Amino acid sequence: MAKLLFICSLLMPGWAMAAIDVYEFDSSEQELLFHQLTKELRCPKCQNQNISDSNAPLAKDLRQKTYELVKQGNDRDQVVDYMAARFGNFVRYDPPMTPATVFLWLGPVCFIAIGLFFVFRHASRPKAKMQVSELATQEQEKLNRILNKDNTE
Amino acid sequence: MSKKQRLLIFLVPLVLFLVACIFLFKGLFSDPTKLESALIGQPVPAFTLQDIYQPEKQHDASIFKGKPMLLNVWATWCPTCYAEHTYLNKLAAEGIFIVGMNYKDDRKKAIRWLNELGDPYQISLFDKDGMLGLDLGVYGAPETYLIDSQGIIRYRHVGDVNDQVWNNTLLPLFKEMK
């Protein structure tokens, strides 16, 4: 009997599948949109996971809500705005430009601009003149003396 | 190269370095898991929820009008809620009006909790499915919202309310609210 039960238990891997949520959609576009959204919405509880990845109860709720909104015919922007209105821009993996994030968007451009400014300034500067040494008369005399001394030896 | 230019070349990186230092130093003490609510300055979202004790009794957003109050989101499955409960009892005894929202929980367990630990809530909402929780952007119990007499959300605190949080953060804001 125990043997039979053991074999039965081996034949029932399907039970493990029951934990995976099943969502049914009206069209394949909706399904695609749902999968796209659950991958680009960030879970507020388990940061650095999207709501598709995360097992947190909150992520599950957000998946369910996303499903309902998609099923009602909302488009991508409407669903993302709905979530952002409640959880803030934190839920977007693609944050919009706001006063708080403007530096992140424009910072790199600024640094490139500053770099280019210095490169061009350096390039357009007239080549440093060959330093024709204009020796003071005293130094010239001194040089002559030394050279002459060498010659005489 | 003039003296001034030379000075500038030394100073600019130094200033940039110091700014970066301040920025990174502040980062050491900030908690990235604490998010500011997206609903600051907005009214409490519309809802209809049952009272925790009486299922036939319904509450809506109008309960938040009339005076400044706290909205505390809690659940029996949340250990931090247990930790802050005594403090909420103390605040209630001091006359602070607290609305409780039992979040994604079991009614029986919640009532037992309130009977055993004391009930600091003037009104207790029962949000079984987390509907209002989702509209409020609740992402981790306990959360405490400061709501002014017009029903506008002024502040959200995530985590337990204790002596330090109340006196340093919440009380000054609570006093400021009208």
* B71, containing H or E segment: strand B69-74
Shortest CA gap B152–chain A (Å): 15
Evaluate whether residue A15 is within a structural domain: no
Whether B136 sits inside 8 A of A57 (CB atoms) is: no
Nearest CA in chain B to A82: B135
* pLDDT tens for each residue of A8-50: 555 555 444 445 678 888 889 999 999 999 999 999 888 889 9
DSSP A41: B
Whether B32 sits inside 8 A of A47 (CB atoms) is: yes
Residue B166 CB burial class (10 angstroms; 0-12, 13-18, ≥19): buried
Structure tokens at B65: 């009008």
Best CA proximity match to B81, nearest among B4, B151, B158, B147: B158
For residue B142, the one-letter residue type is: P
Of B33, B35, B135, the CB nearest to A88: B35
Shortest CA gap B131–chain A (Å): 9
Residue A130: the pLDDT is 56
A50 phi, psi to nearest 5 deg: -85, 170
Nearest CA in chain B to A47: B33
Instruction: List chain B residues with CB under 8 Å of A47.
Output: 32-33
Whether B38 sits inside 8 A of A44 (CB atoms) is: no
Structure tokens at A19: 């934990």
Three-class secondary structure assignment of B99-144: EEEEECCCHHHHHHHHHHHCCCCCEEEEECCCHHHHHHCCCCCCEE
Q: What is the ipTM of this complex?
A: 0.78
Any idea which architecture B48-176 has in CATH? 3-Layer(aba) Sandwich (3.40)
Which CATH number do you get for residue A57?
Answer: 1.10.8.640
* pLDDT tens for each residue of A54-91: 888 889 999 999 999 999 999 999 999 999 999 988 89
DSSP B146: E
Strands (E), A35-146: none
Residue B120: the pLDDT is 94
Of B38, B139, B140, the CB nearest to A84: B38
Contact B173, B155 (CB under 8 A): yes
* pLDDT tens for each residue of A108-121: 999 999 999 999 99
Of A58, A65, A90, the CB nearest to B35: A90
Report whether pLDDT(A97) > 90.
no
Numbered residues of chain A with Cβ closer than 8 Å to any chain B Cβ:
44-45, 47, 57-58, 61-62, 65, 84-90
* Strands of the B48-51 sheet, one edge to the other: B58-60, B48-51, B123-127, B98-103, B69-74, B143-147, B153-158
CA distances from A93 to A11, A22, B35 (A): 41, 25, 15
Residue A129: the pLDDT is 58
Which residue did the predictor score with more confidence, A125 or B138? B138
How many structural domains does chain A have?
Answer: 1
Cβ neighbours, 10 Å, residue B69: 23
* Structural domain span for residue A94: 23-119
Shortest CA gap A16–chain B (Å): 25
Instruction: List chain B residues with CB under 8 Å of A86.
Output: 38-39, 134-137
Instruction: List chain A residues with CB under 8 Å of B159.
Output: none
Q: Is the peptide bond before B55 cis (omega within 30 degrees of 0)?
A: no
Per-residue pLDDT of chain B (178 residues; tens, 9 = 90+): 678 888 888 898 999 999 999 989 988 888 878 888 888 999 999 999 999 999 999 999 999 999 999 999 999 999 999 999 999 999 999 999 999 999 999 999 999 999 999 999 999 999 998 889 999 999 988 999 999 999 999 999 999 999 999 999 999 999 988 7
Evaluate whether residue A112 is within a structural domain: yes
* B17, containing H or E segment: helix B3-29
| Letter string b/e over residues B8-18, b meaning 16 or more CB atoms within 10 A of that residue's CB | eeeeeeeeeee
Whether A44 sits inside 8 A of B36 (CB atoms) is: no
Whether A86 sits inside 8 A of B134 (CB atoms) is: yes
